[in-house]
Amino acid sequence: NPSAYQPDLAAACNNLGILYYGNNRVDKAEQEFLRAKKILKQLVEEHPSVYQPNLAMSCNNLGNLYVDTNRMDKAEQEYLRAKEIREQLAAEHPSAYQPDLADSCNNLGALYKNTNRMDKAEREFLRAKEIRERLAAEHPSTYQPDLAMSYNNLGNLYYKNNCMDKAEQEYLRAEEIYERLAVENPSAYQPDLASTCNNLGVLY
């Protein structure tokens, strides 16, 4: 009964992939993530609106694995596929899928930064920031941490490109958010605040 149980099988493969990945058994993790992706691609052909989010997540998991194993071409391919799906979903249901789209943009930005494609990295980080600024305006307590991370990522990028004024501006924005968050939840956000203060100190 494929239509009834393939979704559960894909979920089981994904869970095994996460378990193996967490235990540094990368080959087995990749095998399970690929199995989940293959099943989900079939399901998307039959029911796109239902299974596209799961397929995007599967692509993202593979992208993370390939980044950690320094297979950047494969990682980029998976991240771009995840982003493409999430672009479509966010166009139809913004409130539900814009956070995932921002995550995809952020992942691509980090990949491009680490492979010295700075223009592409800036474009993706800016897109993630733009989305997260809108989300944080509507739901501050939920999305301000992600927004601060976007500011910090851009600060690091600009610092690496020797654009010190822009880097300072982004770091200061991140610091402002982390100051507030650290007052409300010190154990969770003081490390981020300290890291941002350190970034500013290095810059100055």
86-106 tens-digit pLDDT = 999 999 999 999 999 999 999
Question: In which band, very low, low, confident or very high, does the pLDDT at 3 lie, cut at 50, 70 and 90?
Answer: confident
Q: What is the mean pLDDT of residues 2-27?
A: 95
Residue 56 pLDDT: 97
- Is-contact 157 113, C-beta < 8 A? yes
Alpha-carbon distance 196 to 175, whole Å? 6
Q: Which residue has the tokens 């996460």?
A: 18
30-78 tens-digit pLDDT = 999 999 999 999 999 999 989 999 999 999 999 999 999 999 999 999 9
Q: Which residue has the tokens 């307590």?
A: 141
139-195 tens-digit pLDDT = 999 999 999 999 999 999 999 999 999 999 999 999 999 999 999 999 999 999 999
Q: Which of 164, 161, 193 is CA-nearest to residue 178?
A: 193
Cα 88 from chain centroid? 17
